[in-house]
Amino acid sequence: MTVARDLMTPDPTCVIENQTLVEAARMLRDHDVGSLPICSKDKRLRGMLTDRDIVVKCIASGGDPNTVTAGSLADGGPITIGADDDIREALEMMQQYQVRRLPVVDGHDLVGILSQADVARALSADEIGHTVAEISEA
């Protein structure tokens, strides 16, 4: 059985909830990624922040990314997968919530990020095709 821990990208960089969206955008650029976990100062996962969130939820709404914080965009509890959960469960969650990345937790600790691409390398073309179609539904 392949589990999330086997495929995840370990030790993800977090944007701290009190950092501004300008700082977050620079982190996205510097790490060449489209999303980052939002963490509290004690490294507890609070949510996920995407480049699209910055544009749509702040800039397009007239917000100032120099003053709006990453934590203010953390909507509710994040959707996560356990480090030792089967990747097929991760696929089901990606489909259900229409997300392409899942934070991977071990207990309460964020230990990695599992992306659709990570999972795609381990499963059949049929399984991945179905998942991509489900995630991409409007």
Each residue of 58-67: pLDDT tens digit? 999 999 999 9
Q: What is the pLDDT of residues 92-130, one digit of tens each?
A: 899 899 888 999 999 888 999 999 888 888 777 776 666
Total length of the chain: 138
What would the pLDDT profile of 14-73 be if each residue is shown by its tens digit?
Answer: 999 999 999 999 999 999 999 999 999 887 899 999 999 999 999 999 999 999 999 999
Residue 83, φ and ψ in degrees, nearest 5 = -60, -30
SS3 102: strand
Strand, coil or helix: 93: helix
- Cα separation, 21 vs 116, in Å, equals 25
> Using CA atoms, how far apart are residues 100 and 39, in angstroms rounded to an integer?
19
Architecture of domain 4-135: Roll (3.10)
**What residue segments make up the domains of the chain, in order of their start?**
4-135
